[in-house]
Each structure stands twice: as structure tokens, then as C-alpha cells.
Amino acid sequence: MNIKKDNKIIIEKDDLSKILRISDPFLMIDKAYNITPGKSGLGSKILLKDSWFYKCHFVDAPIMPGTLQVEAMLQTVIAVIYCSANSEDKNCLITKSSSNFYSKVDKEGELKINAEILNNNRGAIDAKANISFNDLKVSDGSFKFFNPNKLKI
């Protein structure tokens, strides 16, 4: 259930799975919080030494794949968007993404994802996000989405 604290929304893992329509192991955030619907929010993922991707990605020097970091950013952005949307508006398609990676994620710790919606105009959405891991910025990205239900011809 969504919890409100100081006019900010907190969404726990079970509800995130329902909202995003994604389940483990591909649910890349455990919690979304400090959400200002349609504007900004934070995501969090606790990584353990036995996390599934460490077992199968570069087995001799395991790291979290960059694609999964991008997925964590996307899921956090979508949680922020969907908190302000009607049920029929929860159908965003990603049309463009760009990401940068600064440091590897290769041990236990907490991913913190900061997401911001820059523009939402008639279903065309621009967003950005960044990830810190154990308080070090490791990646960032910019994303464009399109909501076909908002198209007015």
C-alpha cells in the first residue's frame, strides 16, 4: 500500500511490483520514496553478495550490469510518473535513452536512484536519473517516454 508521509509517497516492494507490472528478479528497486507525483522521487535497491547478477555476469570479477542500472533508473522514473497517472495512462513507452557509467558496482551495498521528470507535455515525457552506490555516483541517464493514450490528433 502507498504510504504518505509529509505529502510524499512511499511505495514498498510488493506494491511496486503491482504498479510496474514487474516481478523478481527483474524488479530492480526495493522501494520508491519521497515521491512528488509527476515530479521527482527516490528509489532504493539493497545489493547482497549473492545477488543473482553477481553469480552470472563476469564470473571471475562479478559486477552489476549497466543495463540493470538503467533498468533501476527507468523503474524509479516510471514509479514517479505512474503515481500521478490514471490507470488508463499507465502505458508509457520508452523512445530514447542515454546513459553514462562512472564506476563499477561490484559488492554489497545500497543503490540509491534519484529520478526527476523534466517535462510532461501531452504524453511526451522527458526525465533524468542518477544512481549512487555506497554514496558514490556510479551512473546517470536521460530518458524520453511517450504515452499513446495522451495523443490528441
Task: Give pLDDT tens digits for 86-145.
Answer: 655 678 889 999 999 999 999 999 999 999 999 998 889 999 999 999 999 999 999 999
Closest by CA position to 35, among listed 16, 53, 50, 56: 16
- Report the length, in residues, of the chain: 153
Instruction: For the chain, list the domains and their CATH numbers.
Output: 3-150 (3.10.129.10)
> What is the C-alpha separation between 134 and 110, in angstroms, rounded?
6
Contacts of 5 (CB under 8 A, 6+ apart): none
Instruction: Report yes or no: 78 and 37 within 8 Å, Cβ to Cβ.
Output: no
From residue 5, how far is each of 9, 18, 33 by CA, in Å?
6, 21, 9
- The residue among 60 and 109 whose pLDDT is bigger is 109
> What is the C-alpha separation between 65 and 138, in angstroms, rounded?
12
Query: What digits encode the pLDDT tens for the residues 16-34?
Result: 999 999 999 999 999 999 9
Helices (H), 21-133: 52-56, 66-82
pLDDT of residue 87: 54
pTM of the model: 0.92
